[in-house]
Amino acid sequence: MSPMMYQAYQNTMDMLAPFRNSAASGKAAIKLLPEGLSDRVFGRLAAALELISRTTLTYARPDYDINPVLVGNGKYPIIEEVTWSTPFGSLLHFKKDGAPEQPKVLLVAPMSGHFATLLRGTVQTLLQDHDVYITDWHNPRDIPVEAGKFGLDEYTEHLIAFMGKIGPKSHMIAICQPSVSALAACAIMSEDNHPARPASLTLMAGPIDTRISPTKVNEFAVSKPLKWFEDNLINYVPMQCKGAWRKVYPGFIQVTAFMSMNLERHIKSHKDLYEHLANGNIEKAETIKTFYDEYFAVMDLPADFYIDTIRDVFQEHLLPQGKLMYKGRPVKPGSIKKMGLMTVEGEKDDICSIGQTLAAQDLCTGVRAYRKVHHMQAGVGHYGVFSGKKWNNEIYPLLRDFIHINS
């Protein structure tokens, strides 16, 4: 792939913008027509125009839109507050003014092509019983080259710094990909006797040891040499952006890959959206639109972070072999003590299979057996581990109790 592919893609999207804008204007004009004026004809035309106006990706983080939360007998609105920030990410606090004191939790979001808002539902559930913070990662295409690199070490460094800002006796929950950095951060903080080391660590559907029951995602990561990923998937941020010339793994490639895995389902969803819009089924149409508004809000990945992850996590398996380094220091999970450890996996997870996250339990030899918890949730895939009904009704109560016991 040409290193200027991202530039060509951006130029094409910019060139098509007038057509999308015209479609949106046409749809707005149709709304001004008298009600009942050939709804069948104009309803279908309006639906077609809306679909045309939506044929683009967005690169801005969507809103979290967290609803007020019931705590005890009181209902508290959520105030989003940036506690601390770097060019690459913010420590975002979902503050409940006047609420009783609750265990502080850092929710560690993945850097996988989408924004941390993908965990909106996870946050909403956690807020019932916890004081929640999240790693709100910034889009690299908006970060000037002068801000420096961001690799696996920098990700781990951010987690240590974020925990330091939250303070002692807080808890860490890592979702999927950042489980490796979360475990590394806890190991370094424990070895240094850091005053803000987590009271507990929960790893959910994370690739601690991808040699165990490899998935198609794992197999692809080892099917080609590292140089292939560097030559074919790394591009420069387009000149139109603040982060121009920063090397990234473009989000549009990641989303395209995700969509190709379930292309028929996505095509059917858009056909359904057209029919719902044409027939005036607003509620059903909004459900689909809300999903794709999030799905098509993409975030690039810093090239260093992407390549480090492919090499260290998926190809060389450094953490489970005791070879992972953090800024020249060996990462020793066995140094983690006086900390609760919970691992959660999904029975039908086709991204991070059963056993890959559980492997953390064997690595953390310093954690007492009575402080270790493992849960395998029947009937859920990857996303069901941290969202949906089984997360809310079956997984979350176990996690809540685990955190409170270790507080």
**H or E segment and range at residue 390:** helix 389-390
CA separation for the pair 288, 284 (Å, rounded): 7
C-beta separation of 194 from 168 below 8 A: no
> Distance (Å, rounded) from C-alpha 79 to C-alpha 98?
11
**By three-state DSSP, how is residue 166 classified?**
helix
Structure tokens at 290: 């809300």
Instruction: Check: CB of residue 132 under 8 Å from CB of residue 103.
Output: no
Portion of the chain with pLDDT greater than 70, in percent: 90
Given a cut of 70, whether residue 41 has pLDDT beyond it is no
| Residues 6 or more apart whose Cβ sits within 8 Å of residue 130 | 102, 103, 104, 105, 171, 400, 403
Distance CA 85, CA 92 (A): 9
Distance CA 319, CA 208 (A): 7
CA 232 to chain centre: 23
Q: Say whether 249 sits in a helix, a strand or coil.
A: strand
Greater confidence (256 vs 390) lies with 390
Q: For residue 405, report the phi and psi dihedrals to the nearest 5 degrees.
A: -65, -35
Whether 57 shows a pLDDT value over 80: the answer reads no
Average pLDDT estimate for 311-318? 98
pLDDT one-digit tens code per residue, 157-173: 999 999 999 999 999 99
CA nearest neighbour of 151 among 307, 33, 18: 307
Lowest mean pLDDT among 212-221, 292-301, 341-350, 385-394: 292-301
Q: Which tokens is 87 given?
A: 């060019």
Provide the CB-side half-sphere exposure for 43 (13 A, CA). 16
Residue found by looking up tokens 């997870």 in the block: 349
Range 70-87 average pLDDT: 94
Instruction: List the strands of the sheet with 301-302, edge to edge.
Output: 235-236, 247-249, 301-302
Percent of residues, the chain, with pLDDT higher than 90: 71
310-332: burial string, b at 16+ Cβ within 10 Å, e else: bbbbbbebbbbeeebebeeeebb
**Over residues 293-316, mean pLDDT:** 92
Could you tell me the pTM of the whole model? 0.89
Residue 49 pLDDT exceeds 90: no
Q: Report the Cα–Cα distance between both ends of the chain, in Å, rounded.
A: 50
Task: Give yes or no for residue 38 having a pLDDT over 60.
Answer: no
